[in-house]
A and B are shown apart, each in its own frame.
Chain A
Amino acid sequence: KNEVEQSPQNLTAQEGEFITINCSYSVGISALHWLQQHPGGGIVSLFMLSSGKKKHGRLIATINIQEKHSSLHITASHPRDSAVYICAVGIGGGADGLTFGKGTHLIIQP
């Protein structure tokens, strides 16, 4: 069974700061997902990656397969980035569904 650890659990930063959220997992995976959840429950899939790096606007996700580690970066953070960010991993073909981290609660203060 894959264990997914996220850090930090909580993060408060000032608007404009560079944000990094980390995710580590214990066994080999086929894909890693970064999700964003706003108050009220809605979840948005930000990235799905199996190697390298992806960028979308101010968001960047990287993964190191050998080290079993991924990072989510937010550049020029803004109060609207305040949300819970969740890392999830899937094993080959999704045989066991997704395993989720506990999430990182991010607050960006103006």
Chain B
Amino acid sequence: KAGVTQTPRYLIKTRGQQVTLSCSPISGHRSVSWYQQTPGQGLQFLFEYFSETQRNKGNFPGRFSGRQFSNSRSEMNVSTLELGDSALYLCASSLLAGTETQYFGPGTRLLVL
């Protein structure tokens, strides 16, 4: 069974631009969670989607948004990029929502210049 895939793997943007990251979960998994990892803050929860509905959201500004499609694939969008948005963005999928075992993708490394 294929693992979680994320595209693109690397991305360079400039301040003020917007970016869309994509995550394809393991086949059959209906929950997708997104995380941001930075050297200073470590791993932080962004949001979780289950059956196309945002189930919960972490403490991030409204510039961070996401959605989930009927095939469980998910996208996250960051608008008006700031230098501090430079990070590794990870998604993880699980069979069900909540605190199930999560399977992580390789991440998208975003650099904002």
* A binding-site residues for B, Cβ under 8 Å: 30-31, 33, 35, 41-45, 48, 86, 88, 90, 93-103
Contacts and interface: CB of A to CB of B under 8 A. Distances in A.
21 contacts: A30-B98, A30-B99, A33-B99, A35-B104, A41-B37, A41-B88, A41-B109, A45-B101, A86-B43, A94-B99, A96-B56, A97-B33, A97-B46, A97-B47, A97-B48, A98-B33, A98-B43, A98-B102, A100-B42, A100-B45, A102-B42
A100 B48 CA distance: 15
Interface of B: 33, 35, 37, 42-48, 55-58, 88, 90, 92, 97-104, 106-107, 109
Contacts of A96: 45, 56, 58
Contact of B104 (A31, A45, A93, A94): A45
Contacts, number: 67
A93 B99 contact: yes
Contacts of A44: 104
A42 B107 contact: yes
A78 B104 CA distance: 24
Contacts of B98: 30, 90, 93-94
Contacts of B42: 86, 100-103
Contacts of A100: 42-45
Given A96-B45, A99-B45, A45 B103 contact: yes
